[in-house]
Amino acid sequence: MSSSPLMKTFAATDIVDTLIIGSGAGGAPLAAELARHGKSVVVLEAGPAFPATGHTPDEVAARELYWLHERLSAGTNPQAFGGNNSGTGLGGAMLHYGAFMPRMDARDFHLHTETGKGVDWPFGLDELLPYIERVESFIGVSGPAYYPWDPERRYAYAPPPANSAALKMREGCDALGLRHADGPAALITRDIEQPHFGTRHACANCGACHQGCRNGAKSGTDNTWLPMAVAYGAELRPGCFAHTIERDSSGRVTGVVYRQNGVEHRQKCATLVLAAGAVETPRLLLTNGLANSSGQVGQNYMTHVSTQVWGEFDEDIRPNRGYPSLTITEDMMRPKDANFVGGYLVQSLGMMPATWGQNLARSTTTRGPAFARALAGYNRSAGMGINGECLPRPENRVTLSDEKDAFGIPKPLIEHSYGPNEWAMHHHAARLLTQIWEAVGAKDIRVIDRAAHMIGTCRMGTDADSNVVNPVGRSFDIDNLWISDHSIFPSAAAANPALAIMALSLRTAEAMLKV
Ligand SMILES: Cc1cc2nc3c(=O)[nH]c(=O)nc-3n(C[C@H](O)[C@H](O)[C@H](O)COP(=O)(O)OP(=O)(O)OC[C@H]3O[C@@H](n4cnc5c(N)ncnc54)[C@H](O)[C@@H]3O)c2cc1C
Ligand code: SF4
């Protein structure tokens, strides 16, 4: 979204009720909800305001949507950052996310109770469900009339048409006796007037979700929560990189210093919410030496096991066409033959050519003419990918490196290694997805071992000794500091995360309004 000339503005000397750092899935619903209840709200966002009409399917130009400040990666599965894991701008990573929007499985809230491994959430699905349904209804989520794994569930929008990869995955699942459905997708399939935003056009099935949606069909925070926040008097400040959190002699937060166009500014606040994502939120706390009496800030960094398997067919697939990830099966949420705890979702995959080529280059050591021949198979390739549970492990964490960025602030160091559970899940999925593709005649099947999403690092829980925030996102150490983003997840769970982050954000806003 672009900043509105009619937006209310606050002076640096105003003590705003709530200052929020970050405008993504964690920050935006909370900004809207607090503003709707009459609170004065300012949102600091490091990235720019992108007008939706400026999004382009050009993959190189769309890099403007990525968080490109350098991050250092370590561990035996070092993660590639940039486009794969985070975003920037008014709207955060949802500007270029895939919009796949399954709900968390009820069992994933209680993984430790079920298996003795991992960590339980401090509440169950029943607690989060009303907020999940509110998010789905407000932003617009499409899905099938009948969802096999939750027959009571209803979606307000019909699914978009299936692309070739989605159709192939259906055939393959049928051959193996697996159930499948059109997956929940955060997009609208008929034109609507979005309150406080304006017209959103139905999905045109163009396939460019990861480059930003030009016609407002994809449900992000830029075309839903943020315009609502502005309508109720919140101020959005794009291009503002927050770096210093100021406190009074009692230790309570008094304001934040940020840099905009090379100039330092200060905004005073009564309450601060960190919604900068699971790497930048702990980085802010660590560089400021805050809220870490538990020693848990930056710890328990998790991802999703996101193995992909691609196959080449005799006929044209055209993986750039259509909504990329329509078909889902949840049959692997607790597979009977599992040698791991937790489970995984399987989703069909389309992809733009440059991203596909990069993935291919990572998955094979073949180069030269053989690699060129593999690249030439793009138009006949279809993919499937998983999203699976990843257990918290002490060696996986975000710390501060010795290197400094352009602002003189230590760059984050992210250590990430799969443990036995993640490897077992990867191998299980690689076998199954290969069988699905073989059943429908795919050749040159390639397995890509990859992890996605940034999760954990400031987890919520009931006990101040082992958690950073309480079950509604409030710091145990500083009572006017709250966290609302992917960092508070106690466990990764299998579902793609944006829905749960937004639901938790509304829940945290409700708790803040009661203080
Ligand atoms: C390529 C890709 C595809 C994805 N696909 C899906 C999908 O299909 N379904 C799904 O559910 N999830 C998906 N995700 C994941 C999902 O988008 C994220 O988990 C979610 O958006 C994270 O929300 P957040 O609020 O925690 O962080 P973010 O969305 O990253 O928001 C944090 C914001 O804070 C800003 N910020 C950071 N530091 C500072 C600072 N110091 N000062 C000011 N501002 C700051 C950043 O610029 C950013 O805008 C995808 C992610 C990516 C990258
Ligand atoms: S496929 Fe639909 S939701 Fe995705 S970018 Fe195109 S119009 Fe938007």
Task: Assign residue 167 the CATH number of its domain.
Answer: 3.50.50.60
- Among 248, 202, 194, 199, smallest CA distance to 226 is for 194
Any ligand 1 atom below 6 A from CB of 497: yes
Residue 305 has pLDDT above 80, yes or no: yes
Residue 194 has pLDDT above 80, yes or no: yes
Within-domain flag for 6: no
- Among 196, 226, 225, 202, smallest CA distance to 214 is for 202
pLDDT in tens, 42-89: 999 999 999 988 999 999 899 999 998 999 999 999 988 877 788 999
In this structure, which ligand is nearest to the CA of 97? 1
Pocket test for ligand 2, best of 65, 190, 321, 323 (most atoms within 8 A of CB): 323
Within-domain flag for 390: yes
pLDDT of 3 reads: 53
Within-domain flag for 10: no
Rounded-to-integer distance, Cα 414 and Cα 395, Å:
10
Within-domain flag for 9: no
Average pLDDT on 335-359 reads 95
Any ligand 1 atom below 6 A from CB of 217: no
Compute, in angstroms, the gap from residue 10 CA to the centroid of ligand 2. 35
Average pLDDT on 399-414 reads 95
pLDDT in tens, 85-144: 889 999 999 999 999 999 999 999 999 999 999 999 999 999 999 999 999 999 999 999
Compute, in angstroms, the gap from residue 139 CA to the centroid of ligand 2. 15
pLDDT of 366 reads: 82
Q: How many domains does the chain have?
A: 1
Tell me which residue has its CA closest to atom 8 in ligand 2. Answer: 213
pLDDT in tens, 261-275: 999 999 999 999 999
* Dihedral angle of Cα 2, 268, 70, 504, to the nearest 10 degrees: -70
pLDDT of 363 reads: 75
pLDDT in tens, 205-244: 999 999 999 999 999 999 999 999 999 999 999 999 999 9
Any ligand 1 atom below 6 A from CB of 282: no
Residue 475 has pLDDT above 70, yes or no: yes
Residue 308 has pLDDT above 80, yes or no: yes
pLDDT in tens, 484-503: 999 999 999 999 999 999 99
Within-domain flag for 1: no
Compute, in angstroms, the gap from residue 208 CA to the centroid of ligand 2. 6
In this structure, which ligand is nearest to the CA of 349? 1
What's the DSSP call for residue 85? T
Contact 52, 1 (CB under 8 A): yes
Q: Two tokens at 222? A: 């830029």
What are the φ and ψ backbone dihedral angles of 133, each rounded to 5 degrees? Answer: -65, -35
Any ligand 1 atom below 6 A from CB of 65: no
The sign of the torsion formed by the CA atoms of 74, 422, 470, 499 equals positive
pLDDT band at 425 (very low <50, low <70, confident <90, very high): very high
Within-domain flag for 139: yes
Compute, in angstroms, the gap from residue 94 CA to the centroid of ligand 1. 6
Average pLDDT on 358-365 reads 82
In this structure, which ligand is nearest to the CA of 237? 1
Within-domain flag for 3: no
Residue 1 has pLDDT above 70, yes or no: no
pLDDT of 2 reads: 55
Any ligand 1 atom below 6 A from CB of 96: yes
Within-domain flag for 7: no
Average pLDDT on 401-410 reads 94
| pTM assigned to the model | 0.98
Q: What is the mean pLDDT of the chain?
A: 96
pLDDT of 364 reads: 78
> The domain containing residue 245 runs over which residues?
15-514
Q: Which residues pair with 185 in a beta bridge?
A: 100, 142
Tell me which residue has its CA closest to atom 9 in ligand 1. Answer: 100
Any ligand 1 atom below 6 A from CB of 453: yes
pLDDT in tens, 139-164: 999 999 999 999 999 999 999 999 99
In this structure, which ligand is nearest to the CA of 24? 1
Average pLDDT on 152-179 reads 98
pLDDT of 4 reads: 63
